[in-house]
Amino acid sequence: MTHPAPVHLQTRELFRLDERTILISGGAGAVATSVGESILESGGDAVFIDMVPAPKPETWKSIQAIAAANGTRASYYQLDVQDASNVDPVFDKIRPTLRFPLRGLVACAGISGESDACDYPVDAFRKILDVNITGTFLITQAVAKEMHRAKVTGSIVIVASMSGWNSNKGINTSAYNASKSALHQLARSLAAEWGHPQNTFLGSTPSELNPNPSNEPRAIYPPIRVNTLSPGHIDTPISEAARVRGLTSEWSKQNMLGRISQAAEFRAPVLFLLSDGSSYMTGADLRVDGGHCAW
């Protein structure tokens, strides 16, 4: 089933999110907060999830004020994205509260860790992969199921990194870099699977991990677009240790604009990817890195 192009929309409607709910994982972080506010300002309701019990009171007060001013709604739920057993129960809580179908995801949840490769503790390496890859997959899977349930089109934005394209100069973060590169491929794979039913052959091959494959025709759903956003270095509270070490000034020299980015600079790229303005874009990466990888 193909979906018609939104050619009837006026230009001012291309980046609106009216009558849609967007879920934001890692929702207590600086980028997620900034992006969430722009979603609320663009007509969408926003559901923030994060592993902390609640966002900072001053942050949440600002979010609620923006929602009230724009006739939108914001809600917050505690969820650790790598806790597979808790994903469905949290979504069972979210579902009955929604005014509009869940039609978007901004997957921001992720962690990093710096260590020389020969000294990297295996548990730390696995945790980074589990949060950044498996956790992202679990929340993306849950959102896609909700879109299928509601039989609506949707757009998923997975926050990867320019570190999925290059090896960061002067800082040893092999696990993080590998996980962000994996997110690029995860997005391409999901975009292919959820874009059109003809993209997948009938049935699947039996294996140890797939002992009883179904040969029945797959259900047909409206398309879900899946793209990645790859930011460059971002100035956030988490960057404080890097600033103390002088790393942020070095990073500023490594891109074409001579500075690192601010969290608010990712509002427009995310709105573009979520909205009908990017209706013919899927399986792609939008790199917003100040020219870092082009130099």
Q: Catalytic residues, which ones? A: 176, 180
CA atoms within 13 Å, Cβ hemisphere of 187:
30
Please spell the DSSP secondary structure of 198-223, one letter per residue.
GGS-SS---BTTBSS---SPPPP---
Q: Are the C-beta atoms of residues 291 and 257 closer than 8 Å to each other?
A: yes
The torsion region of residue 169 among left (phi > 0), alpha (psi -120 to 50) and beta comes to beta
- The tokens for 12 are 């001012």
Q: Are the C-beta atoms of residues 99 and 134 closer than 8 Å to each other?
A: no
Residue 77: beta bridge partners? Answer: 49
Closest residue by Cα to residue 166 from 182, 185, 181:
181
